[in-house]
Structure 1
Amino acid sequence: MAVQPEGTPCWADAMFGDVEGAKSFYGDVLGWTFGESSSEYGNYTQAYADGKAVAAVVPPMSGQEGHSQWCLYFASQDAAATAGRIREHGGEVLMEPMQVGDFGTMCLARDPSGVVFGLWQGGTHEGFEAPPEQTGAYCWAEVFTREPEKSDTFLTAVFPYTAKQIDDAAVDFRMFDLGDRTVLGRMRMTEDFPPEVPPYINVYFSVDNCDDAVARATKLGGILRFGPMDSPFGRFAALSDPQGASFSVIDLRRTEGDLPRTTDV
């Protein structure tokens, strides 16, 4: 696998107080299998879809117990240099770049609007192995923020993105491109979101059938937040898992309607 361009979403993981419960839930909902946990790296456990790495689960570090949430990592060719740009443009580095054996270098940060994300400078572990259309694979992500102007300015300053705004007065949604590839969305959080819900990145995983995946998730204690709904990109639904981590599922094959018009910004 070639080195991924700077700013490409390349990995996702989440801390869970009940790791075995998370493995059981995502195994049933997304069909994931799991590798052996690595005690050397905090019992970090990789998830696989048809033998290809798609994500990881890990127990919380001391002092980080509480609400579970997925963390999206962006590819960086030089994590220290990217961390410098994060600081320069009003972000906060939560964890300095740290080498993880020969797997790569990780860093955790927060944008000026409060969205937490990661950087990954790949070594032997370069990131997602499964293509977006594969069942159980990561396929998309959206930044949810109450201060989109801060996030928009920050993202295009730190990463080599170009941006385009969806021409829809009913929704404030922006998309970020690397070259001719759209890699990330940004949604303004409305008053529909309770004030205690912090800004976050919502990750999407591919499924064969959105409605069936929702039924499995809710049967296992997940909460349906939105949908299922048809769109030009696929039929999707937003969920929370039993430990509170937000994620979405999407059937990329079931599309309906025309793609939205956009304006370069």
Structure 2
Amino acid sequence: MAALPEGTPCWADAMFTDLEGAKAFYGDVLGWTFGESSSEFGNYTQAYSDGKAVAAVVPPMPGQEGEQPRSAWCLYLASPDAAATAERIRANGGEVLMGPMAVGDFGTMVIAKDPGGVPFGVWQAGVHEGFEKQGAPGAYTWSEVLTREPEKADAFFPAVFPYATKKMQSEQVDYKIFQLGGEPVLGRMKVGPGDLPPEAPSYVSVYFAVNDCDATAARITERGGQLYFGPMDSPFGRFAAVGDPQGAAFGIIDIAATAGDMPVLTDS
């Protein structure tokens, strides 16, 4: 398999203090099954949809258990050279939190933040190339940087990755799209007052596709999760912003249930 273009979203994982609870929740609401935990790599546990790897869950690292770390999904962006990407992150005002760190022969990872505090990952693939299924129910389909400081994200991400930027013409939202080879790969939305709780950090919202957004949202709340926004129709599908019982926010979208005209994009 050819290496993914630099900057392509390629993987997502999340840390949970209650790993078994997370597996039960996502197994129910997204239909995931789970592989064996890898004790060599901190009980990292891959999730599968139709037998294909779609994400992973992991308990806190040793020493973190007493800190009550916030559960959150982390999106990884592909890099041919994680060390070089880490240097560009620092040079453009970002912060490298971890790495570059080799993960056996699977690949090399970096965990970082943009200048506005948005966490994300970088992945230089080894034998683990990333998502084995995308854009279908139970799998990753889209992600967007939700930030209170959009001007920082707009300068940072195209400086670190080879993105072209387009602006969505809209009076309702401040939204930009980062493209690779003319194809959209990542969104950026400005978060205004009231869009997130004051204590909630800016973050990357990772969207997983579902067969029925309304039914999945109802099941999420029945299982102790949160409905933050929606379900709402859009030209891209019917979507909702949700959170799991341990506080990790994510998005769900029924990409078959589209409504309305596609937005006009202009050069940023």
Identical-pair percentage: 66
Mapped to 2, the partners of 1:100 and 1:160 lie a distance apart of: 25
Q: What is the root-mean-square deviation of aligned Cα atoms in Å? A: 0.8
Report the equivalent of 2:43: 43
Residue of structure 1 aligned with 2:263, choices 250, 260, 265: 260
* Residues 54 and 134, structure 2, Cα contact 8 Å, conserved in 1: no
Deviation (angstroms), 1:124? 0.4
Report the equivalent of 1:72: 75
Partner deviation per Cα, 1:182-217 (whole Å, 9 max, x = no partner)? 000011111112221111000000101111111111
Deviation (angstroms), 1:240? 0.7
Return the letter of the residue paired with 1:30. Answer: L
Which secondary structure does the structure 2 equivalent of 1:84 belong to? Answer: helix
Q: How does 1:179-194 map to 2 (within 5 A)?
A: 179-192=181-194, 193-194=196-197
Deviation (angstroms), 1:171? 1.0
Report the equivalent of 2:165: 163
Matched, 1:121 2:110: no
Mapped to 1, the partners of 2:240 and 2:151 lie a distance apart of: 26
Partner deviation per Cα, 1:209-228 (whole Å, 9 max, x = no partner)? 11111111111001100111
Partner deviation per Cα, 1:64-88 (whole Å, 9 max, x = no partner)? 6322000000000000000010011
Return the letter of the residue paired with 2:226. Answer: I
Mapped to 2, the partners of 1:65 and 1:121 lie a distance apart of: 29
Deviation (angstroms), 1:2? 1.6
Partner deviation per Cα, 1:96-152 (whole Å, 9 max, x = no partner)? 2011111000111110000010000000000000031x2110000010111000011
Report the equivalent of 1:213: 216
Mapped to 1, the partners of 2:168 and 2:109 lie a distance apart of: 32
Which secondary structure does the structure 2 equivalent of 1:185 belong to? Answer: strand
Deviation (angstroms), 1:5? 0.4
Q: How does 1:176-255 map to 2 (within 5 A)?
A: 176-192=178-194, 193-255=196-258
Mapped to 2, the partners of 1:172 and 1:235 lie a distance apart of: 20
- Point out 4+ residue stretches in structure 1 off by more than 2 angstroms: 62-66
Return the letter of the residue paired with 1:10. Answer: C
Which secondary structure does the structure 1 equivalent of 2:151 belong to? Answer: helix
Deviation (angstroms), 1:169? 2.3
Report the equivalent of 1:92: 95
Matched, 1:154 2:180: no
* Residues 99 and 111, structure 2, Cα contact 8 Å, conserved in 1: yes
Deviation (angstroms), 1:261? 1.1
Gapped regions of structure 2 (runs ≥ 5): none
Which secondary structure does the structure 2 equivalent of 1:2 belong to? Answer: coil
Deviation (angstroms), 1:262? 1.6
Return the letter of the residue paired with 2:211. Answer: D
Which secondary structure does the structure 2 equivalent of 1:83 belong to? Answer: helix
**TM-score using structure 1 length:** 0.98
Return the letter of the residue paired with 1:197. Answer: A
Gapped regions of structure 1 (runs ≥ 5): none
Stretch deviating more after TM superposition (58-67 or 195-204): 58-67
**TM-score using structure 2 length:** 0.97
How many residues get paired?
A: 264
Which secondary structure does the structure 1 equivalent of 2:27 belong to? Answer: helix
Report the equivalent of 2:26: 26
Return the letter of the residue paired with 1:151. Answer: A
